[in-house]
Chain A
Amino acid sequence: MDSGEILQTLGNKYSAEILDATDEPVSAQELSDELGIPIATCYRRIDELTEHDLLELHDNILSDDRRRIKVYRRNVDEVRVDFDDELTVHIEERSEVTNKLDEAWRTLSER
């Protein structure tokens, strides 16, 4: 992935805040409410972050009024920028153990 592009995505207003807030799965509406981000912008940022694998669609959960809601979770634990040789962005993905358990757990209801 192009390092400059990732930096650009991370640098957009609200991107870092969104990643910070998505340790646990959260919906776009919740992010918008909690962080005070206009909902349209919120969706745009979510799309950009998801496209670059920094955020992932975690699940479609059922809301209290029985609607499907998409919840997102961040995919990264750490981002490191290296200028030493040439500009490189190192992305430390979330621990795979939690990912695998999440995945297995999510499929339980589908079995």
Chain B
Amino acid sequence: MIEQTKTGIEGLDDILNGGIVKNSTTLVSGNPGAGKSILCLQYIYNGVEKYDEKGIYLSFEEDESDLREAAESLGFDNWQDHVENGDIKVYDKQVLLRENDFTSSLDILLEELEDGDYDRLVLDSLAMFELFFENEKEKRTYLLKFTDILSDSGLTTLMTNEQGAVFPDTEIGLENYLTDGNIYLIQTPTDTGVNRYVWVAKMRKQNIETDIYPMEIDRGGIDVHQNASAFSMMSEEESPI
């Protein structure tokens, strides 16, 4: 039986048939505002709150205070406490992007990984991480090396990727092939706001539900509706596939 790491988002864990494969790396893709960062916050927060698993949150996109405010707006009231007592370790963009400092951050991170105190890791976003490499070949090589290191350190990882859902005319990035799991977050505009969906396109070593499921973002974070047929609330022409 393959060990799993629960996201703690019930509907999503159901789609995954239990959770994410332990020690794997999953790419969370979606357009701006699709909910990638929120999914990641929730994954790390649930880890501590529900499963007694510590998490590391690497953000090239936001400051520690942005993350705290986002967490609080979602009702993750203990976020700051967990950060302060070290159950959640945040490396924000201030730290990661200080001039020439990604190397020293990487040093601290690698050391931390060797100690093996953490179970979950988030990298938001992969695109920013890839800026440290010079060409496609380097990006691929070092993405694979980095995921190897994370896996070997006992971490189950989510990486975000600014890429829309795969329609026939969007190219599938190499990142999608190089990672163990692919989750797409989709939002389509409606008269009153947006409809949101989640699609688990792959999870290596595991049988998954490959339908597209509706979800909502509200206080409490992401809520996935377990019934794929709720998708039929949308008319045919609105369907993203």
Chain B associates with chain A:
yes
A62 at the interface (CB under 8 A from B): no
Cβ of A1 within 8 Å of any chain B Cβ, yes or no, is: no
Summarize A's interface: helix, strand, loop or mixed.
helix
Q: List B residues at the A interface (Cβ < 8 Å).
A: 102-103, 106-107, 110, 132-134, 138, 142, 145-146, 148-149, 152
Which residues of A (39-82) have their CB < 8 Å from a CB of B? none
| Chain B nearest CB, measured from A9 CB (Å) | 25
Output the least CB separation between B180 and chain A (Å): 17
CA distance A100 to B110 in the complex (A): 9
Partner pick for B146 among A96, A101, A111, CB 8 A cutoff:
A101
CB of A98 closer than 8 Å to a CB of B: yes
The CA of A96 and the CA of B101, in the complex, are separated in Å by 10
Given the interface pairs A95-B132, A95-B134, the reply to whether A101 lies near B107 with Cβ below 8 Å is no
Q: With the chains together, A96 CA to B106 CA distance in Å? A: 10
A111 to B149, CA, bound (A): 11
A96 neighbours in B (Cβ, 8 Å): 103
Nearest to A98 among chain B residues (CB) is: B142
Contacts of B102 in A (CB 8 A): 97
- Contact between chains at B107 and A100 (CB < 8 Å): yes
- Minimum Cβ distance to chain A for residue B231 (Å): 41
- Distance in angstroms from B178 CB to nearest chain A CB is 15
Q: Which A residues form the contact surface with B (CB < 8 A)?
A: 95-98, 100-102, 104-105, 108, 111
A108 touches B148 (CB 8 A): yes
Distance in angstroms from A93 CB to nearest chain B CB is 11
Q: Which of A95, A97, A105 contacts B148 (CB 8 A)?
A: A105
A108 and B110 alpha carbons, distance in the complex (Å): 12
**What are the 10 closest A-B residue pairs judged by CB atoms, nearest first?**
A105-B145, A96-B103, A97-B132, A108-B152, A104-B110, A101-B145, A104-B149, A100-B106, A101-B142, A97-B103
Given A95-B132, A95-B134, residue A101 in contact with residue B152 (CB < 8 A): no
Distance in Å: Cβ of A45 to nearest Cβ of chain B: 25
Report B-chain residues with C-beta under 8 Å of the C-beta of A97. 102-103, 106, 132-133, 142
Query: In the bound complex, how far is the Cα of B110 from the Cα of A97, in angstroms?
Result: 11
Minimum Cβ distance to chain B for residue A71 (Å) = 14
Cα A70 to Cα B240 with chains together (Å): 52
What distance in Å separates the Cβ of A110 from its nearest Cβ neighbour in chain B? 11
**Residues from chain B with Cβ under 8 Å of A101 in the complex:** 106, 142, 145-146, 149
| Smallest Cβ-Cβ distance to B129: which chain A residue | A97
Closest chain A residue to B149 by CB distance? A104
Given A98-B138, A98-B142, decide whether A108 and B103 contact each other with a Cβ distance below 8 A: no
Bound: A109/B133 CA distance, A: 24
Contacts of B138 in A (CB 8 A): 98
